[in-house]
Amino acid sequence: MEIIKQPHITFIGDIDGKRILRKLEDSGRKCWQTDAKEDSSEQFVGKIIGRGHTSVLEHEIFTCDIITDRGVMSELTRHRIASYSIESTRYVKYNGRMQFIKPVEFCKDPYDEKTPDDYELELIWENSCRESEIAYISMLSYGAKPELARQVLNNSLKTEIRFTINMRSARNFFDLRCDVAAHPHMKQIAIPMLLFLQEKVPVLFDDIKYDKKFADKYLKNWRDMVSVKEIGG
């Protein structure tokens, strides 16, 4: 068994903010049959968002690979206006290399004092992962297929998800999942994605609020949680 300390997000291809804004401007200008001017795209897209003419934003997407757990997977996939390819617990056989994602609640800042209860909770969780791995491997040894043995796995099982979403739907996703009310494990993946995109294409995402208290407590290292992978042609 391996415990993964935190989720990870890999953007597939870098986010070229200028190119994205130029394409969105070009798409929006179809409505009025006007031409773009030099450096007009940022202001144009800002206006589009301000007026709620956000269907234009659907012409641009981003794709990323998310390493997270099965609990987050079930929340993430509630977002219907997105596309998913998800590691299959039916076809992937986890014999001897089962990985679990450590819940963010157990990843307090090292300078925060952990209470005895914190240690106890973490131990209970770790034992349940170990037990679920043992049960899974026992079931395989009695001839069960992974599609049956998976029933004993817990929600912390690592899973990999390819996630593609258009910019309009992404704004809705971040609004809901970076908010104070969102589940901490969702915030743990959504906020680093948002912060990364706010740097790349500020005008598209700057107005979206996120739970700063949570970010200060758990996401000081958010840059380590995000990377970019280029896929060569």
Ligand X SMILES: Cc1cc2nc3c(=O)[nH]c(=O)nc-3n(C[C@H](O)[C@H](O)[C@H](O)COP(=O)(O)OP(=O)(O)OC[C@H]3O[C@@H](n4cnc5c(N)ncnc54)[C@H](O)[C@@H]3O)c2cc1C
| Residues at the interface with ligand X (CB under 6 A) | 78-81, 169, 172, 176, 181-182
**Tokens 């598209």 — which residue?**
204
Identify which of residues 118 and 179 has a Cβ nearer to ligand X in the complex. 179
Name the residue with the smallest CB distance to ligand X.
80
What the block records as the tokens of 131 is: 């037990």
Evaluate the CA torsion angle 106, 182, 101, 63 in order and state its sign.
Answer: negative
Identify which of residues 82 and 228 has a Cβ nearer to ligand X in the complex. 82
Provide, rounded to whole angstroms, the least separation between the CB of residue 182 and ligand X: 5
Provide, rounded to whole angstroms, the least separation between the CB of residue 34 and ligand X: 29
Identify which of residues 98 and 189 has a Cβ nearer to ligand X in the complex. 189
Provide, rounded to whole angstroms, the least separation between the CB of residue 211 and ligand X: 11
Provide, rounded to whole angstroms, the least separation between the CB of residue 9 and ligand X: 18
Provide, rounded to whole angstroms, the least separation between the CB of residue 231 and ligand X: 25
Q: Are residues 95 and 137 in contact, defined by beta-carbon separation less than 8 angstroms? A: yes
C-beta neighbour count of 74 within 10 angstroms: 10
What the block records as the tokens of 95 is: 């014999």
Identify which of residues 13 and 184 has a Cβ nearer to ligand X in the complex. 184
Dihedral in degrees, nearest 10, Cα atoms 121, 125, 126, 132: 160
Dihedral in degrees, nearest 10, Cα atoms 62, 63, 66, 69: 90
Angle of CA points 82, 180, 106, to nearest 5°: 95
Provide, rounded to whole angstroms, the least separation between the CB of residue 75 and ligand X: 7
Identify which of residues 81 and 92 has a Cβ nearer to ligand X in the complex. 81
Tell me the HSE value of 201 on the side-chain side, using a 13 A CA sphere.
27
Identify which of residues 178 and 201 has a Cβ nearer to ligand X in the complex. 178
What the block records as the tokens of 54 is: 């956000």
